[in-house]
A and B are shown apart, each in its own frame.
Chain A
Amino acid sequence: MAWTRIRKLAGQVAPIWLAVILLYALAAMISPAMLKPEQVANILQVAAFLGVIATGQTVALLLGGIDLSVAGVVTLTNIVATSVMLGSNDRIPLAILVCLVLSLMVGIVNGVLVTVGRVAPIIATLAMNSVLFGAALIYTDGSPYGAAAPAFKALAEGRIAGVPSSAIWWLAIALALAYVLRRTTFGRWVYATGANGRAAYMMGVPVVAVTIAGYALSSTLAMVGGLLLTAYIGNPSLGIGNPYMLSSIVAVVVGGAALTGGQGSVIATIAGAIFITLLTSLTNIAQVSTGAQFVIQGVLIAASVLLYRTLEIGGQRTM
């Protein structure tokens, strides 16, 4: 029966996609400018920073953990990348390499603290965030210097067929990770570890290694988000990562992931990131005050969690 097939398919799509469509329709009614191709491109461009970071955050949440150190990783990436690059194209590979090594170290330490050290993820990554922000302050002594190289800026600011290249990076990363999580053994291990770590361990899943790899993935993607953001702004800024600590978690949660682990999807997080960015963009255009923006965001987080709890009977969603 075609109808049941459609219903089955619809059941697999996270409700957040419907929310994105509804919010976009509302936004277009309030400001027709939201429909302009430039504005669509603009939203994708800005959503890409949050999107890449939230993609990594999804893995941390799937594992039943959380990664609060993404803010520190973004800030440190921005500071280190600009200071190593010094506005020169030759130094781009070195800057990326240094950031990659740093972020891998951060993720591995987070993972070891959580698994071997048995530190609660919220504490381990919060402590790491504090260390990273402090390190950025010590490294710069409060006076950040350097700039993104011209070729590096093009990496994020360029357009391919009208689509911002940072958005293409984001979608490519998210889709690749979605494939890994759904179709590979590693992916199944991640879901199994998050759903019930003990049971997974009994079944022979290398829980410790999977968790460490998951945190490394989270901080590496936060680093990539930080690089894209750096390419967009071009300058170092000590406060640049701050907004992403909470918004990355919000994007994953409105995408339907459970904070208890084992449930959620990277594809739904794409919609979550678009939803949050769209909401901010709409409140910017619709003259909503910053205070009201915070209230709306808070209400939506609570509402979406309530909604997903009610829908939980709907079973496993894959998109």
Chain B
Amino acid sequence: MKTMTMDRRRLLQFATALGATALLPRSAFADIISEATITGSAETTTGVAKSGKLRIGFSNGFSGNTWRTMALAQMKNEAAANADAYELIIVDGQGDVAKQVGDLDDLIAQQVDAILVIPNSGTAVVPALRKAERQGIMTVPFNLPVEGDTYSAFTGTDPKAKGAILGARLNDMLGGKGKIVAFGGLPGNSYSAGVWEGAISVFAPGIEVLAQKDGYWEEDRAKIIMADLLAAYPQIDGIFSDGGQMAAGAVKAMLDAGRELVPVTGDDYNGLLKLYESNKDDHPKFNIALVSEPSWEGVVAIRIAQRLLAGETVPKMQIISPTEINADNYKDYIKPDLPDGVFVDTTLTDDELKAMFS
């Protein structure tokens, strides 16, 4: 395994190196931050070269959780380091589908050069993105999918692929046999649906799904639901979760109920790593298989926008390969001195995180 983290200085050098590369070989496109690779699609978009100081707008769907806060902090760091090249204008949709569409219209009216967006709704933002495109504004949605192809480029992870990895690892941890309960995020969200679709496509025939519940990506919701499930099912051999907070909540419910801990899946939520660290010795069956959701996705999105605004040709879909965290390598990721809410796959330094979480 290579060195796990890349600090911002190295990221910057990397950005400079990319800027110097006039033309990237399309099929071999690979961007590296941390140890993840980014795979580009064959389909490409050619940008329009703009001169002078650029203005890049970012329409954030909402900002009420740690992941978004960390994502935003990394984007601001990136923008501060490139303050002479562009200005980053951030607007917040406050979790409201309609407000975000209004935000996008505002950015279009301000004639920004590029728009980045994490959509609250993958369908509701489409007309606004189309309008931006017609006015020559580059659009780069990231993190959550957008319906259709009315954008310049997209970056993020592939929920289905993540689900397939988590499903396969849960299979392995359970030896292909066992009763499991599953947790997804907000009811009806497309990300959880994608992860679950990927997972059930790989579950071994011996895996029996007792229940699949919506845990809202929150510890408290998952803990309350898990307490009910524990009462209903005397035997639960594994927990499938697409978020680490819900896995942590479920594990805490098992601890409260005095049950022996079992293998769980999740993401790079620090609280789950801490729970694993402190309970693994007392619970030999406790195991983790996690795939991170990198909070530096926004930095990749900014760089894609920059490249488009330099007139370069970029892959339309840039999928970030999953970084796996498990019993063997979790010590490289865990941050014992930082709060549970931190997502550990980040380019923020521990000092920056400490300053944020205080």
Contact = CB atoms under 8 A, between A and B. Distances in A.
Interface of A: 31, 33-34, 36, 38-39, 42, 45-46, 137, 141-147, 157, 229, 232-240, 243, 280-281, 284-285, 287, 290-291
A274 B143 CA distance: 40
Contacts of B214: 290
A284 B213 contact: yes
Interface in B182-220: 187-188, 211, 213-214, 216, 218-220
Given A33-B231, A33-B232, A36-B231, A143 B70 contact: yes
A101 to B, nearest CB: 22
Given A38-B257, A137-B63, A284 B225 contact: yes
Contacts of B249: 233
B187 A239 contact: no
Contacts of B245: 237
A146 B271 CA distance: 12
Nearest to B66: A143
Contacts of A280: 228
A123 to B, nearest CB: 19
26 contacts: A33-B231, A33-B232, A34-B231, A39-B232, A137-B64, A142-B64, A143-B341, A144-B66, A144-B341, A145-B357, A157-B256, A229-B220, A233-B219, A235-B271, A235-B340, A236-B341, A237-B219, A237-B245, A238-B65, A280-B228, A284-B211, A284-B228, A284-B229, A285-B211, A285-B231, A287-B211
A36 B228 CA distance: 11
Contact of B356 (A39, A143, A236): A143
A31 B228 CA distance: 11
Given A157-B256, A287-B211, A291-B188, A141 B69 contact: yes
Interface string B211-251: 10110101111011101110111100000000001000100
A46 B224 contact: yes
B257 to A, nearest CB: 7
A26 to B, nearest CB: 15
Given A42-B231, A145-B357, A284-B228, A233 B66 contact: no
Most buried by B among A147, A233, A291: A233
Given A141-B356, A236-B341, A238-B65, 9 more contacts: A46-B224, A137-B64, A144-B339, A233-B223, A236-B339, A239-B216, A240-B218, A243-B221, A285-B228
Contacts of A33: 231-234
A239 B252 CA distance: 18
Contacts of A284: 211, 213, 225, 228-229, 232
Secondary structure call for the B interface: helix
Nearest to A34: B231
Given A143-B341, A143-B356, A290-B187, A46 B227 contact: yes
Closest 9 CB pairs of A and B: A142-B69, A39-B231, A290-B187, A145-B357, A285-B232, A284-B228, A145-B339, A290-B214, A233-B220
Nearest to A30: B232
A111 to B, nearest CB: 28
Nearest to A83: B358
A234 B213 CA distance: 22
* Category for how many chain B residues contact A: 35 or more
A39 B356 CA distance: 40
Contacts of A287: 211
Nearest to B258: A38
A62 to B, nearest CB: 28
A285 B63 contact: no
Given A31-B232, A141-B69, A145-B339, A234 B227 contact: no
Contacts of A42: 227-228, 231
Contacts of B221: 243
Given A142-B66, A287-B211, A232 B228 contact: no
A293 to B, nearest CB: 9
A46 B64 CA distance: 25
A177 B245 CA distance: 36
A161 to B, nearest CB: 17
A157 B188 CA distance: 32
B335 interface: no
Contact of B231 (A38, A144, A146, A291): A38
Interface string B251-281: 0100011000000000000010000000000
B68 interface: yes
Contacts of B213: 284, 290
B38 to A, nearest CB: 26
Most buried by B among A34, A143, A285, A291: A143
Contacts of A36: 231
A31 B356 CA distance: 46
B257 A234 contact: no
B91 to A, nearest CB: 15
Contacts of A39: 228, 231-232
Interface in B134-176: none
